[in-house]
């Protein structure tokens, strides 16, 4: 069936209203949860095939996170859907004011390859909770996981409700957006592709959520607790072999503690992954040869002070620390998205801020300090999507925090109620009683200026 015809069936299915009731939405979420539990082992196997994720990493960063999202959504869905009463201004009393949460319609979710299960199913949960019909486009690079997702979706959902679209994104997405007006597009991936999708969506005024990336800085101040900082930086950077959109992209270390920090980083890398990370149970692989070659090209742009080993046949690149990088190096112009960690130094906050501003609007910012004034200085004067103080990446795991970018790192947010809000539209309504209909509210208004000023103040 041509995609356009399929999408028209999805529109017709949505317009029947079947996806709107609370019980329907809840039932679909319960079905999805049951299916994830059924396929838990298969999901782990697929993630190992695509990215060499250990069972523990696959569960904690993909399956477990997704189940947590479903549980939270099921628990709160009725409250989120409930119309919200708000106060009414004096001019309209004794009317009542209510905000309703409308489903959007037919939505498109395009997901990346680095967390191919969680970053697709998470937004899908929010879209289902919002009462929509959903087209999902898994990444063509995470072949095993994408194929399994299609099998799971086909097993539990009719295609007019949830439809899985496979294929090369550059080939299938443009004609899809050109032939059909979606009610929302949710994209997670690179800045370049995000801009392209935004441009195509704008042709039909389709709203978008863009979860992109950027060069997320990790600032280590002179007063930081270095042993703690090193462990948390190494964990956040080298999880999934560095293929995480919110991984620390580079370190800005105060010059006075740089050498001590490097020593602690080396200790943590070896403690986590051993002397040969290629043999580590906990260390993943690069997604494909194209990404591998790109990452290898960065190695010559600075001095390697730890790691640097690689094996193309295994798509392995060791956890690597690099110093003496020039600001114009490609390594500092592009999001790395791999296990290479540049380390730069600064001597003043102004100097550090200048470096961050050269890569403005990062998706995340991480600050290690014990000084509250320093915290305030960075938080009040730097634009970034989200982040942590004295930690890395863990803000993503808190469903009570919105997750999203700013400027070049994206627009819109999701997680928890923020995801539900993304896939619904607020519809404000004012309800006026018939029994109260004073003449002062209608023409002629001559001589009523004083009264109108009092009413409208």
Nearest Cα neighbor of 61 from 112, 111, 114 is 114
Helix 349-357 vs helix 372-381: crossing angle, to nearest 10: 30
H or E element, residue 13: helix 3-15
The residue among 15 and 447 whose pLDDT is bigger is 15
Other C-beta atoms closer than 10 Å to the C-beta of 81 total 20
218 is catalytic: no
Q: What pTM value is reported for the model?
A: 0.95
In this structure, the strands spanning 217-220 and 364-368 are: parallel
Peptide bond into 94 cis (omega under 30): yes
211 is catalytic: yes
Check whether residue 149 and residue 169 sit in a common domain. yes
Tell me which DSSP letter residue 89 carries. Answer: -
- How does DSSP assign 300-323, residue by residue? GGSEEEE---EEGGGTEE--EEEE
Look at residue 447 and tell me if it is in a domain.
no
Domain that holds residue 355: 217-397
Q: In which region does residue 316 sit, left (phi positive, over 0), alpha (psi from -120 to 50) or beta (all else)? A: beta
H or E element, residue 388: strand 386-389
Check whether residue 63 and residue 165 sit in a common domain. yes
Residue 52 has pLDDT above 70, yes or no: yes
| CB 288, CB 141: distance < 8 Å | yes
d(CA 178, CA 88) in angstroms, rounded, equals: 42
Domain end point (choices 376, 397, 418) = 397
Residue 26 has pLDDT above 70, yes or no: yes
Check whether residue 227 and residue 178 sit in a common domain. no
Look at residue 448 and tell me if it is in a domain.
no
Look at residue 125 and tell me if it is in a domain.
yes
Question: Who's near 140: CB < 8 A, 6+ residues apart?
Answer: 113, 146, 166, 167, 168, 169
Other C-beta atoms closer than 10 Å to the C-beta of 446 total 6
Tokens read off for 120: 């697709």
Check whether residue 240 and residue 377 sit in a common domain. yes
Choosing from 62, 218, 221, 245, the catalytic residue is 245
pLDDT at 182: 97
Look at residue 455 and tell me if it is in a domain.
no
Least confident of 22-26, 335-339, 404-408, 453-457: 453-457
Percent of the chain with pLDDT over 70: 100
Whichever domain contains 155, its CATH number is: 3.40.605.10
Check whether residue 81 and residue 21 sit in a common domain. yes
The pLDDT tens digits for 137-190 are 999 999 999 999 999 999 999 999 999 999 999 999 999 999 999 999 999 999
| CB 273, CB 238: distance < 8 Å | yes
Check whether residue 36 and residue 185 sit in a common domain. yes
Check whether residue 25 and residue 48 sit in a common domain. yes
- When pLDDT is averaged across residues 341-356 and rounded to a whole number, the result is 95
Q: What total of structural domains would you count in the chain?
A: 2
Look at residue 378 and tell me if it is in a domain.
yes
Whichever domain contains 333, its CATH number is: 3.40.309.10
d(CA 193, CA 186) in angstroms, rounded, equals: 12
Choosing from 62, 211, 221, 335, the catalytic residue is 211
Other C-beta atoms closer than 10 Å to the C-beta of 235 total 16
pLDDT at 326: 85
Check whether residue 187 and residue 318 sit in a common domain. no
The pLDDT tens digits for 185-202 are 999 999 999 999 999 999
Check whether residue 380 and residue 415 sit in a common domain. no
Residue 158: half-sphere exposure toward Cβ, Cα within 13 Å: 10
Look at residue 438 and tell me if it is in a domain.
no
Check whether residue 392 and residue 412 sit in a common domain. no
Q: Sign of torsion, CA 203 205 208 212?
A: positive
Q: For residue 456, name the pLDDT band (cuts at 50, 70, 90).
A: confident
Whole-number average pLDDT of the chain = 95
Q: For residue 455, name the pLDDT band (cuts at 50, 70, 90).
A: confident
- When pLDDT is averaged across residues 23-52 and rounded to a whole number, the result is 98
Question: Can you list the alpha helix ranges (DSSP code H) found in 324-444?
Answer: 349-357, 372-381, 416-422
Residue 1 has pLDDT above 50, yes or no: no
Check whether residue 261 and residue 316 sit in a common domain. yes
Check whether residue 222 and residue 359 sit in a common domain. yes
């Amino acid at each position: 069936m041509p995609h356009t015809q399929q999408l028209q069936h999805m529109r017709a299915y949505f317009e029947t209203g079947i996806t709107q009731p609370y019980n329907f939405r809840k039932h679909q979420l319960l079905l999805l949860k049951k299916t994830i539990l059924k396929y838990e082992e298969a999901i782990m196997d697929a993630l190992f095939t695509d990215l060499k994720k250990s069972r523990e990493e696959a569960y904690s960063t993909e399956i477990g996170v997704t189940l947590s999202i479903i549980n939270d959504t099921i628990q709160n869905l009725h409250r989120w859907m409930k119309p919200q009463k708000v106060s009414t201004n004096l001019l309209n009393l004794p009317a009542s004011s209510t905000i309703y949460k409308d489903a959007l319609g037919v939505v498109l979710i395009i997901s990346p390859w680095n967390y191919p299960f969680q970053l697709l199913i998470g937004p899908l949960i929010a879209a289902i909770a919002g009462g929509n019909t959903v087209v999902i486009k898994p990444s063509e690079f995470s072949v095993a996981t994408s194929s399994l997702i299609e099998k799971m979706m086909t097993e539990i959902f009719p295609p007019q409700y949830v439809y899985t679209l496979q294929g090369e994104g550059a080939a299938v997405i443009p004609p899809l957006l050109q032939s059909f007006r979606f009610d929302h597009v949710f994209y997670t991936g690179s800045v370049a592709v995000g801009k392209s999708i935004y441009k195509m969506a704008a042709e039909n005024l389709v709203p978008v959520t863009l979860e992109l990336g950027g060069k997320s800085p990790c600032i280590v101040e002179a007063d930081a607790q270095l042993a703690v900082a090193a462990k948390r930086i190494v964990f956040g950077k080298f999880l999934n072999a560095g293929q995480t959109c919110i991984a620390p992209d580079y370190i800005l270390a105060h010059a006075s503690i740089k050498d001590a920090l490097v020593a602690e980083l080396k200790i943590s890398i070896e403690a986590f992954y051993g002397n040969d990370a290629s043999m580590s149970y906990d260390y993943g692989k690069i997604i494909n040869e194209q990404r591998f070659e790109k990452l290898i090209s960065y190695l010559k742009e600075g001095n390697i002070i730890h790691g640097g080993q690689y094996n193309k046949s295994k798509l392995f690149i060791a956890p690597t620390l690099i110093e003496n990088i020039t600001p114009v190096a490609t390594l500092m112009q592009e999001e790395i998205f791999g296990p290479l960690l540049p380390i730069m130094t600064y001597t003043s906050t102004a100097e550090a801020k200048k470096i961050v501003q050269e890569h403005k609007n990062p998706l995340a910012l991480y600050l290690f300090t014990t000084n509250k004034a320093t915290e305030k200085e960075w938080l009040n004067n730097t634009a970034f999507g989200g982040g942590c103080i004295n930690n890395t990446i863990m803000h993503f795991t808190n469903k009570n925090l919105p997750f999203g970018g700013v400027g070049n790192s994206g627009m819109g947010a999701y997680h928890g109620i923020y995801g539900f809000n993304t896939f619904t539209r607020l519809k404000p309504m004012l309800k006026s009683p018939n029994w109260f209909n004073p003449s002062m509210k209608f023409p002629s208004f001559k001589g009523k200026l004083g009264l109108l000023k009092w009413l409208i103040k």
